[in-house]
Amino acid sequence: MMGYGRGYYGYNNMMGGGGFGGLIVLLFGVVVIAGIVLLVMWAVRGSHGHGSAMTAGPPPPHPGEAGHHEAVAIAKKRLANGEITKEQYEEIVRALST
C-alpha cells in the first residue's frame, strides 16, 4: 500500500525527486526554441536576398536604364537590317538620352 502523500513510485513530483529529468526536458525545449528562431531568421534573410550566393553581383538596373538599353539595341538592329537610316538611328539615340 502507498503511504500518505506519496505518489505511485513513492515521490511527490514527476521528476523522480532529483530534478535531473526536468533539467534535460528544459534544455531540450530551449534548443528547440532556439532552432525555430534561427530557422525563421534564415528564412527572412533569404526572402530579402541577404547572404545568398544567388544574389551576388551588381544590383539590377533601374527600370528606365533597362528600357533605354533595350531600345538602343532595337534601333541598332533596325539600322543593321536597313529599316532605318543612320540619321534616324542617331535621332532615336539622342531622344532616348534626354
* Residue at grid coordinates 547572404: 51
The secondary structure of residue 52, as a DSSP letter, is: -
Q: Are residues 12 and 43 in the same domain?
A: yes
Determine the structural domain holding residue 26 and report its residue range.
Answer: 1-57
Whether 91 has a pLDDT exceeding 70, the answer reads: yes
pLDDT tens for 24-65 read 888 999 999 999 999 999 888 877 755 545 555 555 555 556
Q: Are residues 45 and 78 in the same domain?
A: no
Q: Are residues 24 and 70 in the same domain?
A: no
**How many domains would you assign to the chain?**
2
Q: Are residues 11 and 53 in the same domain?
A: yes
Q: Are residues 86 and 62 in the same domain?
A: yes
Q: Are residues 32 and 49 in the same domain?
A: yes
pLDDT on residue 56: 52
* Strongest mean pLDDT among 14-23, 35-44, 65-74: 35-44
Q: Are residues 51 and 3 in the same domain?
A: yes
Distances (CA, A) of 89 to 34, 69, 98: 62, 14, 15
